[in-house]
Each structure stands twice: as structure tokens, then as C-alpha cells.
Amino acid sequence: MSLFDTHQEDTDEEEDNNVQKQEPTDGGDDIAFIAKLKSSRTLASILKTIHFADDAIFCALPTGIKIIVEDKQCVQGNAFIDTRVFESYELTKQVRFRFHLETVLNCLNIFGIPLDPVTHEPLPTNVAVQIHYRENQTHPLQLYLEEEGVITECLIKVLDDTDTIDFDFQTENVVTKVVFKSNGFKEALSEIDLKADCIELIITQDVPHFRLIANGCGGCTSVDITQDSPVMDTFLCTEPVHNRYKTQFFQYIVRALSIASKLSLRIDAAGILCAQFLIYTEKDKPSLVEYFFGPDEELNDIEDNTQASDVVLIED
């Protein structure tokens, strides 16, 4: 096959799974970015947690990779993978492009996803991945995956870059911050009714300190976690918070919890929730996934509309 022919001389060099990948045969002058990961699982699992839209923005920065996914319903998910997580990371020029997330995920999982027979969680794999990207945007994104001497080359077309929402999360104006251990919090969320429209989040200084309420049909489900619970690492609350968020967002949180070790929830004065997940994959440097959610704004919209109509009348 032609694919193997071009890399023929390189396959002889490969002994076992952990070996460095071969360089592509054509010239590398205009290569903007090369990154190598020991296990494709690292990247695949992180991308899976923010896979709630079709497209994602890929940014290669000096500090690492940032991937941004947005859902038009006002949620943004960002994934940061530090350079130290990578086996090797070479950046000539900062790049930013849009790509189809599902395609990249399928490529990363091209050798299959082995599952743990007991927990049904994906196991770490021996699939090494190498990402290449040329400066010129007409060139596709190149992914090379290798498992035990079998190499797959994936060429993925990239799309034009788009603007992303700036949530303007006021880090200096954070009203409350709670840090949880993820496995305990996962247990707390396990029975919450995800068929309800909204989930109310109440954080107060009095007991119960942290409460989630889901109002379904025929009744409601609620979860209380007090400050002294071993699940809660940190609890800071300057003002009581009582907001509503779409249930869908909590589904994303649950998804990310499965690979995270810690979760931090921060809410600013505007009610925007920032959920950050600390994920340890390979190496000691953690990766970070964060979500920004806006609160359910039904009541606020009504107020805004009345204000706008007043302005029109005055002008007339």
C-alpha cells in the first residue's frame, strides 16, 4: 500500500510501542507545530468531555494546546493541555483553526477503545499519537497513530477560524468558590433527575451549604452537601447564591467528572458559573477542562424587553 511504502524505511526502526514516531518524508520547513503524545487516550478522553458541539477551535500556544468548544446555548468548554504533558512539543508559530471534533475523536480512537471489564471505563492504551500542522491553512491537520508497529495516517481538513464568546468571567469578583473531590461529587450527582428542565443551585453560608435541586414532573430531587463533608475540599461564600442553570450543563459536568480528580465551581457576581476540572493523565502535570455557563435568564429577559420598549416611546 502506498501509505506504508512512503514510511517503509521508518517502520524497520520501530521496535515497540513507546518508541518515537517517524518524521514525515516531505520537507518540514513550513511546519508550524508538532506534538507527540505517548497515549492517544490522554487527548481523546479530554476531547470527549468537551464534545458537545460539532466543531472546535484548536489553538497551539507556547504554553500548550487549548481547545475551545461552544454551544450556541451559551456554554463554552475549554481544554488546556500543558506542554509538559506531551512527549515532545515543538511550536514554530502560533496557530488557531477550527476543526470537526467528531472526526478527530474517531481518528484518535481508530484502534478501538478497550474498556475495563468491571467499571466499563476506557483503559489507557499504547497508541502513540503525533500531531502535525503546517502553517498554510490549506494543508490538512495530520495525525499519525501507531500501535505495535501499525501506523495510521489521518489527514483532516481544517475550517476557518471563528470568534469565540468571551464570558468575561470576573475572577476578581467571585462570589463563591467550592472545590470538590470528583468521585464523591459524582456519587452525589448520580441520582439527580436529569429530565428536569433546570437545576437550581443554592450555596449559602448556613446549613445546607451546597444544594442542587432538580424539579421533575411529579416531584423533585435534591442533593445537600455540607461544609464538613469529606467530599468538599474548599468552601468560600461571600454572598448566598441561588441560581438556575440548564440541566444539560450538569450533564457535561457529570461527563467530565469521570476522568477528573478535582472539581472547582466558581460563581461570579453576574451568576456565571465556571466549573474547572483537574485531570491527571500521563506525567505529573495535570490538564484542565473548564466550562462557563450562564444562568437561566428567563426572568432577566422580560425586564430587558420592557426597558427597550420604554426607550422607543421616548424617542417618538
Partner 1 sequence: MTEKKFIFVLPPEHVRHFGKTLQVLTKLGEEIYIELSNKTNGLSFRTANQSRSSYSCITFKREFFEEWPQDDIQREKIKCRISAKRCMSAVHAVLSSKLTRLELVFDDHKSNLSFILHCRYNIVKVHSCFYIDCEKLQARFDKQSYKNSVSIMSKTLQELTAHFPAKWDEITIRATKDQFIIKKCDEIVHDDDSVVYSMNFQVVCEPREFINYDIQYNSDITFCLREFKFLLGLADLLNLPMTLLFDSRGRPIIFCFDAEEFYFDGIFVFATIANREGETDPSFTASQPSINDISTMDEDDLVSYRQYTINTTGLNRGGKKRPAPSSSPLQTTTNLSDINNDHTSIINPKQRINTTNYQDTTTTTDIGDTTYIVLSQQSIVGLQQSEDIMADMTEDEDEEN
Which residues are at the interface with partner 1 (CB under 8 A)? 184, 187-188, 190-191, 193, 208, 218-226, 228-231
Q: Distance between CA 71 and CA 270 in Å, rounded?
A: 20
Q: Which is nearer to partner 1, 56 or 257 (CB)?
A: 257
**Cα 11 to chain center, whole Å?**
34
Q: Which is nearer to partner 1, 175 or 257 (CB)?
A: 257
Could you tell me the smallest distance in angstroms from the CB atom of residue 179 to partner 1?
14
Cell of 117: 471489564
Q: Distance between CA 164 and CA 169 in Å, rounded?
A: 14
Could you tell me the smallest distance in angstroms from the CB atom of residue 241 to partner 1?
19
Could you tell me the smallest distance in angstroms from the CB atom of residue 182 to partner 1?
12
For 217-279, strand residue ranges (E) read 219-225, 232-237, 241-246, 262-268, 273-279
Q: Which is nearer to partner 1, 50 or 225 (CB)?
A: 225
User: What three-state secondary structure class fits 240?
Assistant: coil
Q: Which is nearer to partner 1, 226 or 261 (CB)?
A: 226
Could you tell me the smallest distance in angstroms from the CB atom of residue 208 to partner 1?
7
34: Cβ–Cβ under 8 A, 6 or more apart, which residues?
Answer: 88, 89, 90, 130, 131, 132, 133
Cell of 174: 467571585
Cell 490549506 belongs to which residue? 138
Q: Distance between CA 276 and CA 146 in Å, rounded?
A: 31
252 with 246: CB under 8 angstroms?
Answer: no
223 with 209: CB under 8 angstroms?
Answer: no
Could you tell me the smallest distance in angstroms from the CB atom of residue 195 to partner 1?
9
CB atoms under 10 Å from CB of 74, counted, come to 17
Could you tell me the smallest distance in angstroms from the CB atom of residue 287 to partner 1?
26
Question: What 8-state DSSP symbol labels residue 159?
Answer: B
Q: Which is nearer to partner 1, 124 or 216 (CB)?
A: 216
Q: Distance between CA 276 and CA 79 in Å, rounded?
A: 10
Could you tell me the smallest distance in angstroms from the CB atom of residue 213 to partner 1?
9
175 with 204: CB under 8 angstroms?
Answer: no
Could you tell me the smallest distance in angstroms from the CB atom of residue 188 to partner 1?
5
Q: Which is nearer to partner 1, 148 or 187 (CB)?
A: 187
User: What three-state secondary structure class fits 297?
Assistant: coil
Q: Which is nearer to partner 1, 155 or 220 (CB)?
A: 220
Q: Distance between CA 122 and CA 125 in Å, rounded?
A: 9
Q: Which is nearer to partner 1, 56 or 223 (CB)?
A: 223
